[in-house]
Structure 1
Amino acid sequence: MDVQISNRQSTIQIVKAASSDIIGTLGGDTFSFAVGLMLLHRTHSAISFGLGSIIYPVIGLLLVMPVGNLVDRRRHKPLILMSKGVAIAAVLLYAVLTTQVNAPMLLAVGLLIITACCDKITNTTFTASVHELVNDNHVKTLATIEQAATAGIQLVAPLLSAMLYGWIGFEGIVRVEIVAEILTWLIALSMRFHPLKTTEAVEDDAAQGQWDQFKIGLLYIRNHFTLLSVVTMGIFLNFLLASIDVGLPYAIVQTRHLGNARLSWILSAFSGGVLLGNLVLAVLPKFKNVLLAVLRLSMVIGSLIAVIGGIFMVPITDSVLMISLIGIALVIGLTLAFVNTPMSVYMQMTVPTKLLGRVGSTFSTLMQLALPLGTVAYGICFQNLPVGPVYLVTGLVIVGYIALNLRSVQRHYRRQADE
């Protein structure tokens, strides 16, 4: 039976969700950054900061069908508690092995595989649970506050990680991550889910096979122009945007030898832009046409990446380079907020609740599909080619690709209007 969720209950849930995001992101990002630094210094490989960009999409692809089906057929709170519990056990095991086994890359890959599986379940389940936590009036508020809270922590996480790395060492950061994981599990335990009739196990779905269940969500995306367009463009763009994750750490630390702290300033600027963007979105009305907004903003991001290439190609001082990169990172982060959050709200408000698990799992997996290939390709590029030309060409390709898609989408809407 459906339960009406009051505004007060929705507000409480938003506070808990934001608190969980703050603690989880603070611990997770600090830990991930520390792992990247440790591997970068010990292996001197450009791909050290891109391991997650390879492993997470691969795991997402492997689990997209079973996880989507599972989430749409099972109660959501037990699934979240179970996946978070396994993640805690994995970090505890890693803490023990990292002091006894001299294989940092192997251990990091093993931990990332387990946490990627857990995060896939947790994130898909939370996406499908939004209408169990808040009423429709608070869906946009929940999305923007969660994004803002996460971005706020991501703003300080690189700086905090660089400081803690020198203060308590890598092993100390591992212990901080364990505490953070336990706290997020306790918050999830305290959250009240209001199961809806459409999110309980569906007998018709249960009678179907895994593929038949999954195909329903896949067909929903294929039959909705906005979702299909965003996924198609996202696969291509995420391949090119891998240049940011791989290139900046390598260029700043290994090529320009500017140190960990300066790298953390640039990465924090990205998060600062996302935070600012979500704070602005919280008071703005919804976009009238999400797809056109996403396309135009993506063209801005491509232009800024091309500018990064130009900056690396001209002879400037390290101080000017840092100021320029921090400013560009801030604007890119703000633009990304205007792309990601409205798209998330659009999906929550248009996709039927009983399909949110499958559609959300498929959507996020397809969007990240090209990241592993992009990470490997750009890892090779940045180790063998100058940084500037790589970024310049990447930015120009994005601008050209988006311009072609923008014309195609505008023609589609004109035909629709004529009909």
Structure 2
Amino acid sequence: MNEQQKLKRATYHLFTFTISKIISSFGAQVYAFAISFYILQLTGSATSFATNLICNLLPRALVAPIAGYAADKYSRKKIVIISQLVTTLAIVGLLLVSMTYGLSLLAIYTTTVVLSIATSFTGVTFTSSVTGLVDEDRIQRAMSLNQISMSFAAIGSPAVGGLLYGTVSMEVFLEMYIAASVLAVLLESTMNFNLFSKRKAKEEQDQKETMWQSMKAGIGYLKTKQVLMTMIWISLIINFLFGAFEVGYSFILIEKLKLASQHFGFTQGAFAVGMLLFSIYFSIRKEVKFPFLVSKRGIIGLGIIMGAMAIPLMISLSYWSIFAYYFIAMFTFGATIIVVNTPIQVMMQKMIDDDFKGRVFSILESMAVALMPLGMIIFGYLYDVMPGQYILITSAVVLIGVVLVLARPSVVRDAHPELKEKNAVVEKTSTAL
């Protein structure tokens, strides 16, 4: 296949990758919406609802390292297709149980665990395959389109789920999810995951090493990449500190500021719209020249916005002023997250060797997923015993402080050596003048 044909194929991959992600993300989120409502209506128990969340998060954290090992050792296309088929079969099984015996909590929890494991394999493998599916010049577009699909699902799935939940049965929900999953499998089966891949030949990588040895090799590889380690540590700290925002936002707006549920929903929609619009922007603009520096500035912006979320708790504002304030703040917050995520994801895709992508991304996912519930538990307790404004402001200050230390100027120069040359030219010009 010549270069022109490969570029045409890459364009096709962008299309199929985006459509596949939209279908699978939309289906998964509509299903999650319906199941959440069903559990609450069936039991009226927050504990039952939380148990389903744990069944989703815990398997992902435990299985991610295995998924990363598999993505680096075996055919990534086969892993994606098999994982999507497992998703389809799990929903088919739940549908059969529902039609035969009726839905039970045990059946829902079991399905959630299977879906969580399959999603972990699909997610890690797809992320590891981006540089094999498209050429280097379109990695930013691919990552942006991936984010567009998730933003689109986040905006549309609650509306579609809410509309359908009151008009169709749970069996119809499951049938729709099955159809979406089958369509995703068909699209993925047409993709060439090795089109631009730089993975070593199978004979070279087929060494007799155990999974544990393979994971140790992945950690050893990470230790040789100082800038990459810095990015991962920053990502993990952000995930943890965002627990302050995720827990506090709903608590503050609903319990403290008494915002009506529909207006609260609009502010959440503004967050998703901000992400969507800036994802579209990054999909059509040129690749960011200094991604690490841009992401650093974006994280500082996130810290400022997080701290600003506390202002309506400290000064008296009218109801509509509070609504407008949080609507704008959440739109800005969503947009800034894309400014942080997209450049750093592109940089990681280019920086990590193809033979280690699965293990590196799985380590990152495993640790991030593990920190999310920990952060929610800790900050959930703190919001019960401390004023919310202090928690938000402290978290914001810590976030900004961490990024200023970990992403200090010397680290930024290591990430972008061309900045040294640029600064040297500026100094020479200034001296000459």
Provide the TM-score with structure 1 as the length reference: 0.85
Superposition CA RMSD, Å: 3.4
**How far 1:330 sits from its partner (Å)?**
1.1
Query: Which stretch has the larger CA shift, 57-66 or 257-266?
Result: 257-266
Contact 1:49 1:245 in 2 (8 A): no
1:209 alignment counterpart: 210
Map 1:14-163 → 2, pairs under 5 A: 14-39=14-39, 43=44, 45=46, 48=49, 52=53, 58-97=58-97, 100=101, 104=105, 108-163=108-163
The residue type paired with residue 183 of structure 1 is L
CA distance in 2, matches of 1:49, 1:289: 41
The residue type paired with residue 75 of structure 2 is R
Contact 1:81 1:188 in 2 (8 A): yes
**How far 1:171 sits from its partner (Å)?**
5.5
CA distance in 1, matches of 2:61, 2:3: 34
Contact 2:279 2:338 in 1 (8 A): yes
Would the alpha carbon gap of residues 258 and 413 (structure 1) be closer, same or farther in structure 2, given more than 3 Å must change?
A: closer
Contact 1:272 1:333 in 2 (8 A): yes
Contact 1:273 1:331 in 2 (8 A): yes
Equivalent residue of 1:264, what SS?
helix
Would the alpha carbon gap of residues 199 and 82 (structure 1) be closer, same or farther in structure 2, given more than 3 Å must change?
A: farther
CA distance in 1, matches of 2:236, 2:149: 27
Contact 1:235 1:368 in 2 (8 A): no
Contact 2:310 2:388 in 1 (8 A): yes
**How far 1:200 sits from its partner (Å)?**
5.3
Provide the TM-score with structure 2 as the length reference: 0.82
2:228 alignment counterpart: 227
2:426 alignment counterpart: none
Would the alpha carbon gap of residues 377 and 96 (structure 1) be closer, same or farther in structure 2, given more than 3 Å must change?
A: farther
Query: Which stretch has the larger CA shift, 378-387 or 13-22?
Result: 378-387
CA distance in 1, matches of 2:49, 2:316: 28
Contact 2:33 2:161 in 1 (8 A): yes
Contact 2:30 2:160 in 1 (8 A): yes
Give me the identity figure in percent: 20
Would the alpha carbon gap of residues 398 and 62 (structure 1) be closer, same or farther in structure 2, given more than 3 Å must change?
A: same
1:404 alignment counterpart: 405
Q: Provide Cα deviations, 1:218-277, integer angstroms capped at 9, x if missing partner.
A: 222222122101211222221121234444445556676756544432332222111111
CA distance in 1, matches of 2:206, 2:67: 14
The residue type paired with residue 198 of structure 1 is R
Q: Which protein shows a greater Rg?
A: 2
Would the alpha carbon gap of residues 13 and 50 (structure 1) be closer, same or farther in structure 2, given more than 3 Å must change?
A: farther
Would the alpha carbon gap of residues 397 and 197 (structure 1) be closer, same or farther in structure 2, given more than 3 Å must change?
A: closer
Equivalent residue of 1:354, what SS?
coil
Query: Which stretch has the larger CA shift, 132-141 or 344-353?
Result: 132-141
Q: Provide Cα deviations, 1:281-325, integer angstroms capped at 9, x if missing partner.
A: 234333343333222211211221222223245444544333322
CA distance in 2, matches of 1:316, 1:39: 37
**How far 1:68 sits from its partner (Å)?**
1.7
Contact 2:72 2:357 in 1 (8 A): yes
Would the alpha carbon gap of residues 97 and 73 (structure 1) be closer, same or farther in structure 2, given more than 3 Å must change?
A: same
**How far 1:115 sits from its partner (Å)?**
1.6
**How far 1:337 sits from its partner (Å)?**
0.8
- The answer for unaligned runs of 5 or more in structure 2 is 422-433
The residue type paired with residue 285 of structure 1 is K
Contact 2:267 2:330 in 1 (8 A): yes
CA distance in 1, matches of 2:20, 2:284: 23
Would the alpha carbon gap of residues 21 and 275 (structure 1) be closer, same or farther in structure 2, given more than 3 Å must change?
A: same
CA distance in 2, matches of 1:398, 1:343: 17
CA distance in 2, matches of 1:246, 1:220: 35
**How far 1:335 sits from its partner (Å)?**
0.9
Would the alpha carbon gap of residues 245 and 112 (structure 1) be closer, same or farther in structure 2, given more than 3 Å must change?
A: farther
**How far 1:365 sits from its partner (Å)?**
2.6
Contact 1:67 1:121 in 2 (8 A): yes
**How far 1:83 sits from its partner (Å)?**
0.6
1:187 alignment counterpart: 187
1:346 alignment counterpart: 347
Contact 1:162 1:261 in 2 (8 A): no
Q: Is 1:359 the equivalent of 2:364?
A: no
2:431 alignment counterpart: none
Would the alpha carbon gap of residues 189 and 411 (structure 1) be closer, same or farther in structure 2, given more than 3 Å must change?
A: closer
Contact 1:274 1:336 in 2 (8 A): yes
1:369 alignment counterpart: 370
Q: Provide Cα deviations, 1:3-58, integer angstroms capped at 9, x if missing partner.
A: 98522111111111111111112222222234444556754649958964x55554
Would the alpha carbon gap of residues 146 and 102 (structure 1) be closer, same or farther in structure 2, given more than 3 Å must change?
A: closer
Equivalent residue of 2:202, what SS?
coil
Query: Which stretch has the larger CA shift, 361-370 or 190-199?
Result: 190-199
Would the alpha carbon gap of residues 97 and 265 (structure 1) be closer, same or farther in structure 2, given more than 3 Å must change?
A: farther
Would the alpha carbon gap of residues 361 and 95 (structure 1) be closer, same or farther in structure 2, given more than 3 Å must change?
A: same
CA distance in 2, matches of 1:385, 1:103: 39
Would the alpha carbon gap of residues 373 and 209 (structure 1) be closer, same or farther in structure 2, given more than 3 Å must change?
A: same
Map 1:304-319 → 2, pairs under 5 A: 304-319=305-320
2:336 alignment counterpart: 335
Would the alpha carbon gap of residues 243 and 89 (structure 1) be closer, same or farther in structure 2, given more than 3 Å must change?
A: farther
CA distance in 1, matches of 2:3, 2:160: 42
CA distance in 2, matches of 1:237, 1:46: 27
- The answer for unaligned runs of 5 or more in structure 1 is none
**How far 1:381 sits from its partner (Å)?**
3.9
